[in-house]
C-alpha cells in the first residue's frame, strides 16, 4: 500500500477541497485566540504556525497521516540505532553525537557514546592548544590561521556554524573554508595567509572526494613551497575522517586524525569531528553548548506529543503544501545576518535527504517528495525576491526566523534601534503575506481604479515564525536539530530513505572518465553523445 492509499491521505484530499475558499482572514476572524493557540515551544524555540492555511481538523488529519505512515516507530528505530539507512546497511545516529556522556546508544551491541566523547575530548585538547598558541608550527610560530578543506557536509555545516557563531569566536584566529575544486577558491582564501602560521584541516568522511583531495594536495604544495620540509605536514595538517588508511596514505599522521563513524551521514556531521574548525573558533565550551542545544531538540522530538512536537508540526505543514497544494519550493528566511549561510546549509540537509523518488521498498512514488529549499537573510530578500512571494502566481510557504535580542545593539539617533527595525520587518512580512490588502481597501486609499488591481495583495500566503531569545551556540544547535528532524519526519511519511545520496554518484563517475580526456596530450577518442564530445573538443581547443 502506498501512502496515497491511506485513509488519512484521502481524508486530507477531501479536506483540502473543502478548505479551498477559506482565507487566513476568515480563520483569524473566527478565532481571536488563534495567534496564541497555534503555537508550540521547545528547547528555547517558539513556533507560531497560526498563519498557515490550516484548521484544527487539518492538524488532526495531518497528524493522522504521520501516525498512519509510522513516523513515531521510524523515529524510535532511528534513535535505537536500527539500520534504517537500508541502501547502505547503516544505522543513522547523528543523535548519538550529542548524547551526554553516560548515555547508552548501541550499534551492533556496542555502546558508541564513550567513543563519541573520547573524540570530543581529543578535539578539545587540540583546540585548547591551538587557541592558547601552544601548538606550534614547523618554524616555531603559533598557528593563527585555520583553513578547513571539505565539501558538502564537510564544509557547509562548519562554515554555516562558524558564521552563525562568529560573535563567540576567538577573534585573533582567522578561519577560511575551501570547498570548490575551482582553483580560485583555494588561491583567494590563502593568498594573504602565512603558511608558517596556518593549520589545514582536511575534512572528508570518505577521504576520497575528488574536490577535497585536489584542494588538500594543492594546499600541501602551497605549504611545502614555503616551509620546504615534508616534516612540516605533521604540524600543519590534521584530518577529520572515517578512513584512517586513506589519511595515512595522504601523509597525515593518524595521531593527528579525528575520527567519526559510518553511522554519521555527511550532511548530519557538523556536530562530529567535522566541527573541529568550529570548535577551534568558539572553544570546547561553546561547542558543548551547541551539542546541548541539539540534544534538547532530540529529546523534544523523541518525547513531546505530536500535537506539540516542533519537528513534526513543521514537517507535516510542509507536507500539506507540498502534497496537497502543489507547492514546489519552501523558503527559509533568517532575520539575522549571522545566519547568512543557514539556507545554503538547509539546501543540502533537505534536498540531499529527501530528493528521492524511490520508496524504501523499491517502488517509484506516485506523489511529490522533497521541495526546493531556498532563502536569504532578511531584510535583503525583501528588496529582491519577496515581490514574487507576495504577488506572484506561485505558492511559497516560508519560515521566518528571528531573535528577540540582538548580539549587536545599535541605537539610532532619534529613532528605533536597528534591531526593532529588523524585527518589525519580520512581523510586517508575515502579516502582509497572511492578510494582504483587498481591492476595497486599495480603492478606499484613493488609488485610481486602473491602478488598483496592481496594488492588491491577495494574502493567504502561509508562513511559520520561529522566535528565540538570542542566537547562542545552544539556540543554533536547537535550530539545526529542528530542521534535521523535520526532514526526517517528511522522509518517514514519504517512505523514502533520507540517508543515502545515490543521486550524486553518476556525475562523479562521469567526471572521473572525462578528466583524462581533457588532460590527455594527444586527441583522445571520445565516445560520448555528440553534444558532450563537441564541448570537450571545444574546451581542449581553447584551454
Ligand X SMILES: O=P(O)(O)OC[C@H]1O[C@](O)(CO)[C@@H](O)[C@@H]1O
Residues annotated as catalytic are 352, 383, 508
Among residues 204, 272, 288, 376, the one that binds ligand X under rule CB under 6 A: 204
Q: Does residue 267 bind ligand X (CB under 6 A)?
A: yes
Q: Measured from the CB atom, is 149 or 327 closer to ligand X?
A: 149
Write phi, then psi, for 42 (nearest 5 degrees): -175, 140
Please list every residue from 328 through 357 that binds ligand X, using CB under 6 A.
Answer: 352
Smallest distance from the beta carbon of 388 to ligand X, in angstroms?
29
Cell digits of residue 194? 602565512
Q: Measured from the CB atom, is 58 or 241 closer to ligand X?
A: 241
- Continuous H helices in 259-341: 276-303, 310-319
Smallest distance from the beta carbon of 160 to ligand X, in angstroms?
13
- Residues touching ligand X: how many (CB under 6 A)? 14
Cell digits of residue 277? 574548525
Q: Does residue 206 bind ligand X (CB under 6 A)?
A: yes
C-alpha to C-alpha distance for 345 and 348, rounded to whole angstroms: 6
Closest Cα partner for 438 from 458, 420, 422, 419? 458
Q: Measured from the CB atom, is 502 or 539 closer to ligand X?
A: 502
- Continuous H helices in 173-243: 183-190, 210-227, 233-236
Smallest distance from the beta carbon of 162 to ligand X, in angstroms?
17
Beta strands in 395-494 (DSSP E): 398-403, 463-468
Write phi, then psi, for 101 (nearest 5 degrees): -55, 140
Q: Measured from the CB atom, is 179 or 475 closer to ligand X?
A: 179
Among residues 101, 504, 520, 534, the one that binds ligand X under rule CB under 6 A: 504
Smallest distance from the beta carbon of 208 to ligand X, in angstroms?
7
Q: Measured from the CB atom, is 237 or 324 closer to ligand X?
A: 237
- Continuous H helices in 133-239: 156-164, 183-190, 210-227, 233-236
Among residues 55, 58, 209, 354, the one that binds ligand X under rule CB under 6 A: 209
Q: Does residue 152 bind ligand X (CB under 6 A)?
A: yes
Q: Stretches 15-23, 83-91, 150-158, 337-345: which one binds ligand X (CB under 6 A)?
A: 150-158
Q: Measured from the CB atom, is 206 or 438 closer to ligand X?
A: 206
Q: Stretches 3-11, 47-55, 200-208, 513-521: which one binds ligand X (CB under 6 A)?
A: 200-208
Q: Stretches 94-102, 202-210, 279-287, 299-307: which one binds ligand X (CB under 6 A)?
A: 202-210
C-alpha to C-alpha distance for 254 and 258, rounded to whole angstroms: 8
Q: Stretches 48-56, 122-130, 147-155, 250-258: which one binds ligand X (CB under 6 A)?
A: 147-155
> Residue 100 burial (CB < 10 Å; 0-12/13-18/19+)?
exposed
Q: Does residue 498 bind ligand X (CB under 6 A)?
A: no
C-alpha to C-alpha distance for 88 and 101, rounded to whole angstroms: 28
Smallest distance from the beta carbon of 266 to ligand X, in angstroms?
3
Q: Does residue 151 bind ligand X (CB under 6 A)?
A: yes
Q: Does residue 266 bind ligand X (CB under 6 A)?
A: yes
Q: Does residue 154 bind ligand X (CB under 6 A)?
A: yes
Please list every residue from 234 through 263 that binds ligand X, using CB under 6 A.
Answer: none
Chain CA centroid to CA 264, Å:
15
Cell digits of residue 324? 496537497
Closest Cα partner for 436 from 466, 416, 405, 458? 458
Q: Does residue 460 bind ligand X (CB under 6 A)?
A: no
Smallest distance from the beta carbon of 314 to ligand X, in angstroms?
23
Question: Pairing mode, if any, of strands 45-48 and 106-107?
Answer: unpaired
Angle at CA of residue 31, ends 26 and 34, nearest 5°: 105
Say if residues 360 and 423 touch (Cβ distance below 8 Å). Answer: no
Q: Does residue 205 bind ligand X (CB under 6 A)?
A: yes
Q: Measured from the CB atom, is 196 or 201 closer to ligand X?
A: 201
Cell digits of residue 370? 522533497
Q: Stretches 149-157, 299-307, 312-320, 477-485: which one binds ligand X (CB under 6 A)?
A: 149-157
Q: Stretches 33-41, 206-214, 215-223, 374-382: which one binds ligand X (CB under 6 A)?
A: 206-214
Q: Which residue is nearest to ligand X (CB)?
A: 266
Please list every residue from 378 through 417 that binds ligand X, using CB under 6 A.
Answer: none
Among residues 179, 198, 212, 475, the one that binds ligand X under rule CB under 6 A: 212
Smallest distance from the beta carbon of 394 to ligand X, in angstroms?
28
Say if residues 280 and 173 touch (Cβ distance below 8 Å). Answer: yes
| Cβ-based neighbour number of residue 437 at 10 Å | 15
Smallest distance from the beta carbon of 86 to ligand X, in angstroms?
17
Q: Stretches 22-30, 79-87, 158-166, 198-206: which one binds ligand X (CB under 6 A)?
A: 198-206
Return all residues near 60 (Cβ < 8 A) that are at least 6 apart: none
Sign of the torsion angle spanned by Cα atoms 335, 336, 342, 343: positive
Q: Measured from the CB atom, is 352 or 517 closer to ligand X?
A: 352
Residue 243, sorted as left (phi over 0), alpha (psi -120 to 50) or beta, turns out to be beta
Residue 328, CB half-sphere, CA atoms under 13 Å: how many? 3
C-alpha to C-alpha distance for 371 and 492, rounded to whole angstroms: 15
Which residues are at the interface with ligand X (CB under 6 A)? 151-154, 204-206, 209, 212, 266-267, 352, 501, 504
Amino acid at each position: 500500500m502506498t501512502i496515497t492509499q491511506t485513509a488519512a491521505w484521502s481524508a486530507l484530499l477531501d479536506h483540502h477541497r473543502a478548505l479551498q475558499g477559506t482565507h487566513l482572514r476568515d480563520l483569524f476572524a473566527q478565532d481571536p485566540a488563534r495567534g496564541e493557540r497555534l503555537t508550540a515551544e521547545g528547547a528555547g524555540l517558539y513556533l507560531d504556525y497560526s498563519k498557515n492555511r490550516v484548521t484544527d481538523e487539518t492538524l488532526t488529519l495531518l497528524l493522522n497521516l504521520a501516525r498512519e505512515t509510522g513516523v513515531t516507530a521510524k523515529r524510535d528505530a532511528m534513535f535505537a540505532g536500527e539500520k534504517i539507512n537500508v541502501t547502505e546497511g547503516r544505522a543513522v545516529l547523528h543523535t548519538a553525537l550529542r548524547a551526554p556522556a553516560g548515555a547508552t546508544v548501541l550499534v551492533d551491541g556496542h555502546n558508541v557514546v564513550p567513543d563519541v566523547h573520547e573524540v570530543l575530548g581529543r578535539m578539545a585538547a587540540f583546540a585548547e592548544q591551538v587557541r592558547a598558541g601552544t601548538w606550534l608550527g614547523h618554524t616555531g610560530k603559533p598557528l593563527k590561521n585555520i583553513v578547513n578543506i571539505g565539501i558538502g557536509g564537510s564544509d557547509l555545516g562548519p562554515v554555516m556554524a562558524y558564521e552563525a557563531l562568529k560573535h563567540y569566536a576567538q577573534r585573533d584566529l582567522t578561519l577560511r573554508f575551501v570547498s570548490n575544486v575551482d582553483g580560485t577558491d583555494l588561491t583567494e582564501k590563502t593568498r594573504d595567509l602565512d603558511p608558517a602560521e596556518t593549520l589545514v584541516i582536511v575534512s572528508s568522511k570518505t577521504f576520497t572526494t575528488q574536490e577535497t583531495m585536489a584542494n588538500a594536495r594543492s594546499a600541501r604544495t602551497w605549504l611545502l613551497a614555503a616551509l620546504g620540509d615534508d616534516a612540516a605536514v605533521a604540524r600543519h595538517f590534521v584530518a577529520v575522517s572515517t578512513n584512517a588508511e586513506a589519511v595515512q596514505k595522504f601523509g597525515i599522521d593518524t595521531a593527528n586524525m579525528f575520527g567519526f563513524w559510518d553511522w554519521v551521514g555527511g550532511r548530519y556531521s557538523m556536530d562530529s569531528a567535522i566541527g573541529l574548525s568550529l570548535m577551534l573558533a568558539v572553544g570546547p565550551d561553546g561547542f558543548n553548548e551547541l551539542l546541548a542545544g541539539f540534544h534538547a531538540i532530540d529529546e523534544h522530538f523523541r518525547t513531546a506529543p505530536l500535537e506539540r512536537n516542533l519537528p513534526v508540526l513543521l514537517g507535516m505543514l510542509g507536507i500539506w503544501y507540498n502534497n496537497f497544494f502543489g507547492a514546489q519550493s519552501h523558503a527559509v528566511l533568517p532575520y539575522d545576518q549571522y545566519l547568512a549561510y543557514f539556507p545554503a546549509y538547509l539546501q543540502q540537509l533537505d534536498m540531499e535527504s529527501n530528493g528521492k523518488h524511490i520508496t524504501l521498498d523499491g517502488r517509484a512514488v506516485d506523489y511529490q517528495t522533497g521541495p526546493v529549499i531556498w532563502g536569504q537573510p532578511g531584510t535583503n530578500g525583501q528588496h529582491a525576491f519577496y515581490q514574487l512571494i507576495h504577488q506572484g502566481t506561485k505558492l511559497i510557504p516560508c519560515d521566518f526566523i528571528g531573535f528577540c535580542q540582538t548580539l549587536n545593539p545599535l541605537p539610532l539617533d532619534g529613532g528605533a534601534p536597528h534591531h526593532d527595525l529588523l524585527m518589525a520587518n519580520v512581523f510586517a512580512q508575515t502579516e502582509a503575506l497572511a492578510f494582504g490588502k483587498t481591492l476595497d481597501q486599495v480603492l478606499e486609499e484613493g488609488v485610481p481604479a486602473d491602478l488598483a488591481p496592481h496594488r492588491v495583495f491577495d494574502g493567504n500566503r502561509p508562513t511559520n515564525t520561529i522566535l528565540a531569545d538570542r542566537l547562542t551556540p545552544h539556540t543554533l544547535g536547537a535550530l539545526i536539530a529542528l530542521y534535521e528532524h523535520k526532514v526526517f519526519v517528511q522522509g518517514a511519511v514519504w517512505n523514502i530513505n533520507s540517508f543515502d545520496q545515490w543521486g550524486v554518484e553518476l556525475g562523479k563517475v562521469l567526471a572521473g572518465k572525462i578528466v583524462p580526456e581533457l588532460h590527455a596530450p594527444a586527441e583522445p577518442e571520445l565516445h560520448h553523445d555528440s553534444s558532450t564530445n563537441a564541448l570537450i573538443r571545444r574546451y581542449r581547443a581553447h584551454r
